[in-house]
Structure 1
Amino acid sequence: MNILLTGGNGMVGKNILEHAGAASHALLAPSSAELNLLDGAAVAAWLAAHRPDMVIHCAGVVGGIQANMAEPVRFLVDNMQMGLNLITAARAAGVGRLMNLSSSCMYPRAAANPLAEELILAGELEPTNEGYALAKIASTRLCEYIRKEEPALLYKTVIPCNIYGRHDKFDPKHSHMIPAVIKKIVDAKLAGRAAIDIWGDGTARREFMYAGDLADFVFYAIDRFEAMPQNINVGLGHDYTINEYYAAVARTVGFDGAFEHDLSKPVGMKQKLIDDRKLAAFGWKYATSIADGIQQTYDYYMNEVRRG
């Protein structure tokens, strides 16, 4: 198929383009300069000119808790505008298939874990990433509404857990937790520091999946798109504490210093674990353990980011 991949320069997009399955399709991955998703007319014109068989929407303004708290307007407005422009233009152009990548952060903050797909909009959102979550909810609901009005249009949403891996961002102002921790601990080791800080008490639980595994799911789903549920969680189905992630990264880096907890800092949701029952029924399972994923991400950081 001819497939439009948005966000091809981002972590998830680059992992999709590197996957072996990419050779089976013609993947069109224009940069933001070539296709500005914030410009609805430009999106419509691009789709009319290239007429893809499928769209995979990975583009977005992304970041960790610090970035979400610092720029909530951008996280809400830009992400919502991109999603609505692309999905409505794809519908108008008659694109038959669209895979919308969302995020598990759109689940209610107080919902019982594991988080099932039916919990979307069932409660109040986590304030530290509410803008991003609202944008993702809008795109997810729009895909549902389009399917309701036009069942032949397969517009479906993939809801990954937290993702990390090759091509991640390591700048603390914009990065997610695992790459931020890798950089923090590497810097501490090189500087000879005796201790590093952890936001909160470290008992909050998070589920992180290696980005290469998400790319593997994408190609698995492309081949079985009619059978894929309307909304499907993609993750490990189990989680670890923040303290355990810090300890795992420290082992990989070879840092033997102490951890100090800063209880004045926000920690976000206490737990965010996806319900993987639909994923298991769909027949896919992740391949990369946390230890292997952290090792590969650390190697990428040391060999390609720091030396780059």
Structure 2
Amino acid sequence: MRILLTGGSGMVGRNLLDHASAREYEILAPRSRELNLLDREAVAEYLRENKPDLLIHAAGRVGGIQANMADPVGFLVENTQMGVHVINEAYRAGISHCINLSSSCVYPRNAPNPLSEDQILTGELEPTNEGYALAKITAMRLCQYISQISGSAHYTTLIPCNLYGRHDKFDPANSHMIPAVIRKIHEARQSNASSVEIWGDGEAQREFMYVEDLADCVFSVAEKMRIGDEVPDVMNVGIGRDYSVNEYYQAVASVIGFEGEFVHNLSKPVGMRQKLIDSTKINQLGWMPSTELSVGIEKTYRFFLEEVTNG
């Protein structure tokens, strides 16, 4: 099976390429200089020339609350264009299978937890990342429409919870919570700081999964598609439980060895109060995550020390 992987240089893409199952496929992972996903004609030409059997769409412009609030236009426009160009042109080129990677930000901000797939588009989105969420919803709906009108195409969307791990971004300007916390607490320990600031009261609940587990899930779904098994058109992928922001800070501090105190800045935005997804569908297909939080943080911190601080 020949796979076209978009976003091969991103965190998810690089973990997919590093996964043991990647050796079982021929994977095309063009960099942005080889294939500009914002150029529809370039995407169409690449698909016609290379004729992949499966598209894994993992590309996207990503970032945390600060980045999304600073440039909502860019997050909406660029992610929408990438999703529409890649998915629609794959359909037009006759590619029968697609795994589209989405985000749990597609869920309404006030939806009851755990979040199930049928709650999408039932309420107002979280304003701090609304543009990104709208782009991801568009790509998801496009996949559903293609599967509905085609007799042979099967395009499915996986909605992972928040991710962290190897090849993550650790720059506070565009990183998600766990890598940002790792860098913040590492620097506090290095400078012998007595305290670390937490945005808000730290009681917001978040579900984070080690990114290698998502890679494992993607290849599990790809194999089911290859052998012709039925796969739902939208599935959550998570660990089945969440932790408070305070608990994540404490877990990172334990790994790094920071013994100072935490100070809460109640003037800062915190996003949704809880975001726990229901992963029943993917679990029923036989997939379960395997990485404990402490193990994932240890591996991520080791990567930070080896690749970021020494790079």
**Percent same amino acid among aligned pairs?**
58
Whichever residue aligns with residue 245 of structure 2, its letter is: I
TM superposition shift of 1:216:
0.5
**C-alpha deviations, 1:25-62, integer Å up to 9, x for none?**
00000001101000000000000010101100000000
1:136 and 1:48 mapped to 2: Cα distance?
Answer: 25
CA RMSD of aligned residues (A): 0.6
Once the two structures are TM-superposed, the CA of residue 86 in structure 1 deviates from its matched residue by 0.6
Letter of the 2:244 counterpart: T
Shift of 1:305: 1.2
Deviation at 1:279, TM superposition (A): 1.8
Amino acid aligned to 1:297:
T
Partner in structure 1 of residue 182 of structure 2? 182
TM-score, length basis structure 2: 0.98
Specify the alignment match of 1:173 in structure 2. Answer: 173
2:140 is aligned to 140
What is the aligned partner in structure 2 of residue 282 from structure 1?
A: 285
Structure 1, unaligned runs of 5 or more: none
Aligned residue for 2:261?
258
Which whole-Å CA distance do the structure 1 matches of 2:293 and 2:151 have between them?
Answer: 39
Q: Which residue of 2 aligns with 1:5?
A: 5
List per-residue Cα deviations over 1:206-264 (Å, max 9, x = no partner). Answer: 00000100000011111112422110000101000000000000000000000000000
2:223, 2:88 → 1: CA distance?
A: 24
Q: Please give the alpha-carbon distance, in whole angstroms, between the structure 1 residues aligned to 2:232 and 2:161.
A: 17
Q: Secondary structure at the match of 2:173?
A: coil
Out of 255-264 and 148-157, give the one that drifted further.
Answer: 148-157
Q: In the alignment, residue 166 of structure 1 is paired with which amino acid?
A: R
**Which region of structure 1 is more displaced relative to structure 2, 226-235 or 170-179?**
226-235
Aligned partners of 1:151, 1:260: CA distance in 2, in Å? 57
Following the alignment from structure 1 to structure 2, what is the Cα–Cα distance between the partners of residues 228 and 114?
A: 21
Q: Does 1:271 align with 2:274?
A: yes
2:235 is aligned to: 232
**Unpaired segments of 5 or more residues in structure 2?**
none
SS of residue in 2 equivalent to 1:158 = strand
SS of residue in 1 equivalent to 2:56 = strand
Structure-2 separation of matches of 1:56 and 1:43:
14
Query: Is 1:110 equivalent to 2:110 in the alignment?
Result: yes
- In 2, Cα distance between equivalents of 1:155 and 1:107: 20
Letter in 2 for 1:164: Y
Match in the other structure for 1:220:
220
How far residue 151 of structure 1 moved from its aligned partner, in angstroms, is: 3.4
Q: Which amino acid aligns with 1:66?
A: Q
Q: Distance in 2 between matches of 1:28 and 1:161?
A: 26
Bigger drift between 217-226 and 35-44 goes to 217-226
1:282 Cα deviation (Å)? 1.2
Partner of 2:294: 291
Give the structure 2 partner of residue 62 of structure 1. Answer: 62
Q: Give 1:304 shift.
A: 1.6
- Which residue is equivalent to 1:34? 34
CA deviation after TM superposition for structure 1 residue 295, in Å: 0.4
SS in 2 for 1:98: strand
Cα distance in 1, alignment partners of residues 207 and 68 from structure 2:
19
